[in-house]
Structure 1
Amino acid sequence: MTGVLAGFVTIGSVIGLGALIAHLRLIDEQGQVLLSRVAFFVANPALMITVLGGTPVTQLFSANLVASISSVVTVSVIYVLAARLVFRRTPSEVVIGTFSAAYVNAGNLGLPIAAYVLGDVSLIAPMLLTQLLVLQPAGLAVLDLTSRAASGTAAESARARVLRLVTQPFRNPLMISSLLGLVISVTGFRLPRLVADPLHLVGGMAVPMMLIAYGVSLRLGPRPGRGEPPVQVGLAVGLKLVVQPLIAWAVGALLLDLSRPALLAVTVVAALPTAQNVFTFAVRYRHGTLLARDAIFFSTVLSVPVLVIIAALLG
């Protein structure tokens, strides 16, 4: 359990730094947006290339990938149906809510937990791949399209709309970088040091920038729990911490017959809290910011006992 606690202490410390910076008025809301934009367009893409490119292809396409995809898709469908049919949220808000319910913190929290609790950093790769190549491109395509429509773009022909819809994910920096990292992993290509070193250096900014921006939001925005209706935040958090790990466990145990260590890995990874990336996406597209922030806050706090219980039962 030391690895779980160490991961949360590290994250909490950097978020607290962001809140302190905002409290001292060293950075304001515009600075928070700037941090999020740099993370989205520059640091995160560099991080994706280095993480995916450095993961063995056999680990990427293991049986764990099936369990990861199943948990993400099931939770996403449940949230989309509830958000559209019950809460009547807009498409952009539904995307951010779906991310809040299904997009796990596989980077800055998942990596240390995989290292210290599971004993193998590469065990996080299947979920990372699922998010980067399935959940993220689909969601960002919707956000891009709805943002474009809201900006009053001139009418397009049916052919132009279809072409834009198909090519939209491949014009997103995170999607492009994820594909590059996947190609590097599949081909076994080694980046020259003159390229790899700057990528590692820039990618190293991604996690602290996202966490600091999030801490700024906690200090400058409404207190967690006072921004969005509690029932909607509760739905996202409940799906994230209860339903998603249960689906991953059920698929892994009942359908894939995974070994006990592999089953522990997919369940722990699925139970990780909502990723800070979701807040970055919300700020970037200016939709669902408070929902993303509250879901991240409550899922992070409540995931500690959840992860401890899972480790005790399956470890």
Structure 2
Amino acid sequence: MGGVLGGFATIAAVVGLGVLVGHIKLVDAAGQRTLSLLAFYVASPALLVTVLAESDPAEVFSGHLVATVAGVAAAVLAIAVLAVRRGWDLGTTVVASLCSGYVNAGNLGIPVAAYALGDAALVAPVLLLQLLVLQPLALTLLDVDRSPGRMSVGKVLLRPVTNPLTIGTGLGVLLAVTDTRLPQPVQDPLALVGGMAVPAMLIAYGVALRLGPLPGRGVRPRALVAVVGLKMVAQPLAAYAAGRFLLGMDDLDLFAVTLLAALPTAQNVFVVATRYERGVLLARDAIFVSTVCAAPAAVVIAALLA
């Protein structure tokens, strides 16, 4: 479990740095937003190109994909029911769905897969599902929600291919499928800029923690409990059930899909929420609470399944 706990410690340290720079007023609210937008429009697309170019797209069609989809579907469908009952707008519903189903598969999932599970490739189905399906769909719905007027079908279909994160994802997958290597003068700057994405997300998140209301005070507690409960309980349970009863996975694969489904909400959900100004405090608090809960959850899962 050293890889799991080490990943959490690294994230906590960088978020703590963000809290510090917000506390000493080195970065104010406007600077925090600028940092988030820089991560959204520049650094994250560069990171997606370089990471996905090295991936194996065939991994997404493994049995792990079915269990991953089952976990995400259980959480998102529950959020849809909750949104209807509470009258949430489309944007808030999309952000809440991301909070409950979009796991931190990048900067936490990769070390967990490598050190706790012994194979970094195990996180590939989660990464590709999120980047190729969940993210483009969520961004399209958020674009529709923010549009001042009714969007035509053509504009709706064009939105995903004009979004910087989707463009970065598409280019990365195209490079991987065609086994194409970027020229060094292109690869090196992309890698350098992409390396800024995760630290920028975490620091911006830490600044938001310091400058905004304390976690749990900016959103309704019942909504926060529901979203985090679906993320940390419903999603891993659904993934486990699909892996065991539908796919008949062996013990190692079952442990892998359950543990990865119990990862906390990804930090880039906060960046997306900030970009579209929907559910920002909900995203911030869900990331915080789910990250705090993730280490104990991982220990419990390991004790039961490892």
State if a TM-score over 0.5 links the two structures: yes
1:256 corresponds to: 247
Asked if 1 retains the 8 angstrom alpha-carbon contact of 2:29 and 2:211, the reply is: yes
Tell me whether 41-50 or 272-281 shows the greater mean CA deviation: 41-50
Measure, in 2, the Cα distance between the counterparts of 1:262 and 1:202: 35
Give the aligned length. 306
TM-align CA RMSD: 1.2
Asked if 1 retains the 8 angstrom alpha-carbon contact of 2:18 and 2:202, the reply is: yes
Asked if 1 retains the 8 angstrom alpha-carbon contact of 2:57 and 2:128, the reply is: no
Measure, in 2, the Cα distance between the counterparts of 1:169 and 1:72: 20
Residue identity (%): 52
Tell me whether 135-144 or 8-17 shows the greater mean CA deviation: 135-144
AA paired with 2:183? P
1:270 corresponds to: 261
User: Per-residue displacement from partner, 1:83-107 (whole Å, max 9, x unpaired)?
Assistant: 12x2111111111111111110111
Measure, in 1, the Cα distance between the counterparts of 2:35 and 2:93: 24
AA paired with 1:180? L
Measure, in 2, the Cα distance between the counterparts of 1:73 and 1:244: 8
Secondary structure of 1:104's counterpart equals coil
User: Per-residue displacement from partner, 1:52-101 (whole Å, max 9, x unpaired)?
Assistant: 211123323211112112211221111011112x2111111111111111
2:36 corresponds to: 36
Aligned pairs (5 A) from 1:169-180? 169-180=160-171
Measure, in 1, the Cα distance between the counterparts of 2:56 and 2:92: 35
Asked if 2 retains the 8 angstrom alpha-carbon contact of 1:52 and 1:125, the reply is: no
User: Per-residue displacement from partner, 1:239-266 (whole Å, max 9, x unpaired)?
Assistant: 1000101111111111112222222111
Tell me whether 53-62 or 11-20 shows the greater mean CA deviation: 53-62
Asked if 2 retains the 8 angstrom alpha-carbon contact of 1:48 and 1:178, the reply is: yes
AA paired with 2:59? Q
1:20 corresponds to: 20
1:199 corresponds to: 190
- Of 205, 210, 215, the residue aligned with 1:219 is 210
Asked if 1 retains the 8 angstrom alpha-carbon contact of 2:56 and 2:124, the reply is: no
AA paired with 1:282? A
AA paired with 2:57? V
AA paired with 2:134? L
Measure, in 2, the Cα distance between the counterparts of 1:244 and 1:46: 29
Measure, in 2, the Cα distance between the counterparts of 1:46 and 1:73: 29
Asked if 2 retains the 8 angstrom alpha-carbon contact of 1:236 and 1:295, the reply is: yes
1:185 and 2:184 are equivalent in the alignment:
no
Secondary structure of 1:108's counterpart equals coil
1:147 and 2:138 are equivalent in the alignment:
no
Secondary structure of 1:69's counterpart equals helix
Asked if 2 retains the 8 angstrom alpha-carbon contact of 1:241 and 1:273, the reply is: yes
Secondary structure of 1:114's counterpart equals helix
Deviation at 1:216? Answer: 0.1
Measure, in 2, the Cα distance between the counterparts of 1:71 and 1:133: 17
Measure, in 2, the Cα distance between the counterparts of 1:101 and 1:194: 39
Query: For structure 2, which runs of at least 5 residues remain unmatched after alignment?
Result: none
Asked if 2 retains the 8 angstrom alpha-carbon contact of 1:241 and 1:272, the reply is: yes
1:303 and 2:294 are equivalent in the alignment:
yes
Secondary structure of 1:55's counterpart equals coil
Measure, in 1, the Cα distance between the counterparts of 2:60 and 2:50: 14
- Residue 214 to residue 83, structure 1, CA distance change in 2 (3 Å): same
Tell me whether 255-264 or 296-305 shows the greater mean CA deviation: 255-264
Deviation at 1:233? Answer: 0.4
1:49 corresponds to: 49
1:122 corresponds to: 121
Measure, in 2, the Cα distance between the counterparts of 1:261 and 1:234: 30
Measure, in 2, the Cα distance between the counterparts of 1:68 and 1:174: 21
Measure, in 2, the Cα distance between the counterparts of 1:65 and 1:181: 19
Asked if 2 retains the 8 angstrom alpha-carbon contact of 1:214 and 1:293, the reply is: yes
Measure, in 1, the Cα distance between the counterparts of 2:245 and 2:178: 33
Measure, in 2, the Cα distance between the counterparts of 1:175 and 1:26: 32
AA paired with 1:25? K
Measure, in 2, the Cα distance between the counterparts of 1:101 and 1:282: 14
TM-score by length of 2: 0.97
Measure, in 2, the Cα distance between the counterparts of 1:51 and 1:257: 31
2:94 corresponds to: 95
1:83 and 2:95 are equivalent in the alignment:
no
AA paired with 1:271? A
Measure, in 1, the Cα distance between the counterparts of 2:51 and 2:59: 12
1:137 corresponds to: 136
Measure, in 2, the Cα distance between the counterparts of 1:119 and 1:258: 17
